[in-house]
Amino acid sequence: MSGNRESVPEGDPAPGWDLPGFGDWLSGRAEATRRAYLSDLGALAEWMSRSGVDAPAGVDRLHLRRYLASLGTRRLARATVARKAAALRCYFAWSVRQGRLVSDPSRSLRAPTGKGRLPRVLSEGEIGALLDRPGASAIDQRDAAALELLYAAGLRVSELCGLDRRGVDLHGRTVTVLGKGGKERRVPIHERAAVALQEWLREGRTTMPGPAQAVFVNQRGSRLGPRDVRRILDRLALSPTHPHALRHTFATHLLDGGADLRVVQELLGHASLATTQIYTHVSKERLRSVYEGTHPRA
């Protein structure tokens, strides 16, 4: 989700749109996706109401084109606008299938592809400064294990937060996580990550209350959440670093080291190789940066 956070509609703020019904239909998707799509449709319904349109039957293609154009004036990232467009296409297709609409005004609607910005990649020095920190408190052990795992296994932050003890194999040095679409995948981890995880589970975790099956917990006695992970990085990183940057860095460093793209796809849990290919562009940008910064005639 983007930095412009929008709350999920409470109840049904736009009765003519049946957002609760749409939310029920989305229940098979990842919770983050469901919440984002409901928020996106709530924002569209509010925008349409200002034009006197209180139900999807009154929406035409021109309305939607104007709405997407209005998003561009808010300086949102193209990936965010693309997600919002995907949400409304999903909603109107659902409305047609439900018999609420005769035709789909969002059909063939174009939106930005989301390829505007390359992911931030941390240098090896930045990774070392972030991970190689002394500290023996329970919080120190938790933070070290969490950050090591994000970089060692390329986990999404939701996968890290949802990790259960049964998914940890310290002897085999693997973790099994639940990814997008409810798909499980087993990912190898290196020895330093396994050691950090072992120290946390055997020492620090025993002193912190929380769900027994959860690997990572916060000081409130609940599972560690995405905001908790963001706060850890805000506190420890030398420069602003989003948790997803560690996943980007994991993939890019593997490719820079000669890993096969399909192996990286499997490790990341990408359904499509096209999604993984963005990291080849990242690596090319890094190679060009190094070349231009070091070649005497560059």
pLDDT in tens, the chain (298 residues): 333 434 444 455 567 899 999 999 998 888 888 899 999 999 999 999 988 898 999 999 889 988 888 876 676 777 788 888 889 999 999 999 999 899 999 987 776 554 555 567 888 889 999 998 887 899 999 999 999 999 999 999 999 999 999 999 999 999 999 988 888 999 999 999 999 999 999 999 999 999 999 999 999 999 999 999 999 999 998 888 889 889 999 998 998 888 888 898 999 998 888 778 777 766 666 666 666 666 676 5
Q: Is the same domain home to 155 and 232? A: yes
- The answer to whether 41 and 70 have CB atoms below 8 angstroms apart is no
The DSSP result for 93-115, as a single string, is HHHHHTTS-SS-TTTT-----S-
> Are both 140 and 191 inside the same structural domain?
yes
| Active site residue ranges | 156, 180, 244, 247, 270, 279
Burial class (CB in 10 A: 0-12, 13-18, 19+), 221: exposed
Examine the domain organization and report whether 86 and 129 are in the same domain. no
Identify whether residues 139 and 237 lie together within a single domain: yes
With contact defined as beta carbons under 8 Å apart, do 153 and 176 qualify?
no
55 and 202 together in one domain: no
Q: Domain span at residue 68?
A: 15-97
CATH number of the domain where residue 91 is located: 1.10.150
**Please, which residues bridge with residue 178 across strands?**
184
Report the CATH number at residue 241: 1.10.443.10
Considering the entire predicted model, what is its pTM? 0.59
- Total number of domains in the chain: 2
Three-class secondary structure of residue 242 per DSSP:
coil
SS3 labels along 168-203: EECCCCEEEEECHHHCEEEEECCHHHHHHHHHHHHC
* Tokens 């938790």 sit on residue: 142
Q: Are residues 56 and 181 part of one domain?
A: no
In a domain, 92, yes or no: yes
Helix, strand or coil, per DSSP, at residue 148: helix
Work out the number of other CB atoms within 10 angstroms of the CB of residue 106. 23
- Contact (CB, 8 A) for 84 and 40: yes
Both tokens assigned to 174: 């693997």
Q: Are residues 86 and 169 in the same domain?
A: no
Contact by Cβ (8 Å): 155, 187: yes
Q: Does the residue 113 lie in any domain?
A: no
